[in-house]
């Protein structure tokens, strides 16, 4: 069989990766301990998938304030760093590369996570979704309170400390989570950012928080070990900006000056009719972004190979297929069928639906 484009090496930041198949970051809610630290299950889960060219971990909150989902692992305490050290060691022992995703959910949280205090956001904002709380039940989100200017700057410092902790835990780099309606995207969009200080108003001001985070993290980790994930058209957790095309044309154009390891884009999940929203996210921003580009959302093996071969992207990230196929790279290589994932166990505790998907038996 001729070598597939997905399975060819690629330079990404400071590294040469063995293939272009990326394990996308996915929340799995398995850090069910008082420290919200990775466990031996996390070690097994990530090690099983180390044949990926790059693993990007589940989002890991950079502070207690950044938490909004039950049992997600953090990167702000000594216990969490120690837990992640076991994960990175196991992945490296199998020849893998792994970045940690730095995360702050902003308004997508609930007072139950914060001792009764309100979650935070750029402005008073309710994402009008459900929060799966520590009580083990879903509750309606509430209107988050606006961060003060000083608090915004503290969150920037928290991202930088998260990057420092990730390197101490042995990660090869970090990915800043600027997608999916969480805090960074809440700052970017005028639907959720109505501030009147230097972080609100114009596109440049609304993007200021993102770029301060990028600069702070890259200063700690190095630009060649720093990635960024964006979802320009996705409206999950926050309504669209009034002119998403203009907003992200500015943001992604400016990113060219930072020489990051990569930009990781989520394509639109459905049909896009609004001319101020970009329908073909990867295709549009491939023409604007000059660095290494990872694309994600809805790719199978053939579409992934085509994306690489056509130059649409440099790497392709896969989410759900990696849940049920720990040997996804090998299955792509051999043209083997993929196992189906059980969505009922995506967020449930324990090994079922997490570490018990078998690899294909090899001769």
Catalytic (active-site) positions? 182
Tokens for 25? Answer: 């970051």
CA 301, 302, 308, 311 dihedral sign is negative
3-state secondary structure of 15: strand
Q: State the residue for tokens 């969480």.
A: 182
Q: Determine phi and psi for 23, rounding to 5 degrees.
A: -85, 115
CA-closest candidate to residue 229, choices 110, 46, 57: 57
3-state secondary structure of 188: helix
Q: What is the Cα–Cα distance from 119 to 178, expressed in whole angstroms?
A: 18
Q: What is the Cα–Cα distance from 159 to 102, expressed in whole angstroms?
A: 7
Q: What is the Cα–Cα distance from 85 to 87, expressed in whole angstroms?
A: 5
With both helix axes pointing from N to C terminus, report the angle between 40-48 and 78-93 in degrees, rounded to the nearest 10: 30
Where do the H-state alpha helices sit in the chain?
Answer: 40-48, 78-93, 149-168, 183-188, 203-206, 208-221, 244-255, 281-286, 301-310, 320-324, 328-334
Q: Are 162 and 76 in contact (CB under 8 A)?
A: yes
Q: Are 113 and 67 in contact (CB under 8 A)?
A: yes
């Amino acid at each position: 069989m001729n070598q597939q484009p997905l399975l060819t090496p690629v330079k990404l930041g400071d590294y040469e990766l063995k293939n272009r198949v990326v394990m996308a970051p996915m929340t799995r809610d398995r850090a069910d301990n008082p420290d919200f630290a990775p466990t031996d299950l996390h070690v097994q889960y990530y090690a099983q998938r180390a044949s990926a060219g790059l693993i990007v971990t589940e989002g890991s909150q950079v502070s207690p304030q950044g938490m909004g989902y039950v049992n997600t692992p953090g990167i702000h305490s000594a216990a969490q760093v120690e837990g992640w050290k076991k994960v990175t060691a196991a992945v490296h022992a199998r020849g893998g590369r792994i970045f940690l995703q730095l995360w702050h959910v902003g308004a997508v949280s609930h007072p139950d996570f914060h001792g009764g205090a309100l979650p935070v956001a750029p402005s008073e904002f309710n994402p009008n979704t459900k929060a799966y709380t520590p009580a083990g039940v879903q509750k309606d989100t509430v209107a988050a309170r606006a961060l003060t200017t000083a608090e915004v700057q503290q969150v920037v410092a928290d991202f930088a400390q998260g990057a420092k902790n990730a390197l101490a835990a042995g990660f090869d780099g970090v990915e800043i989570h600027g997608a999916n309606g969480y805090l960074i995207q809440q700052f970017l969009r005028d639907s959720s950012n109505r501030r009147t200080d230097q972080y609100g108003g114009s596109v440049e001001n609304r993007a200021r928080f993102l770029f301060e985070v990028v600069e702070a993290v890259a200063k700690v980790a190095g630009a060649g070990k720093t990635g960024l994930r964006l979802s320009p058209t996705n409206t999950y957790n926050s309504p669209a900006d009034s002119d998403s095309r203009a907003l992200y044309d500015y943001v992604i154009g400016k990113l060219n000056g930072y020489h990051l390891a990569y930009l990781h884009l989520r394509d639109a999940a459905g049909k896009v009719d609004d001319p101020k929203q970009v329908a073909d996210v990867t295709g549009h921003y491939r023409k604007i972004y000059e660095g290494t580009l990872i694309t994600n959302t809805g790719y199978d093996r053939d579409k992934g190979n085509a994306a690489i071969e056509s130059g649409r992207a440099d790497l392709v990230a896969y989410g759900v297929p990696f849940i049920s196929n720990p040997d996804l790279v090998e299955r792509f290589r051999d043209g083997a069928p993929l196992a189906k994932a059980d969505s009922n166990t995506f967020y449930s505790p324990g090994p079922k639906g997490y570490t018990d998907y078998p690899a294909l038996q090899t001769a």
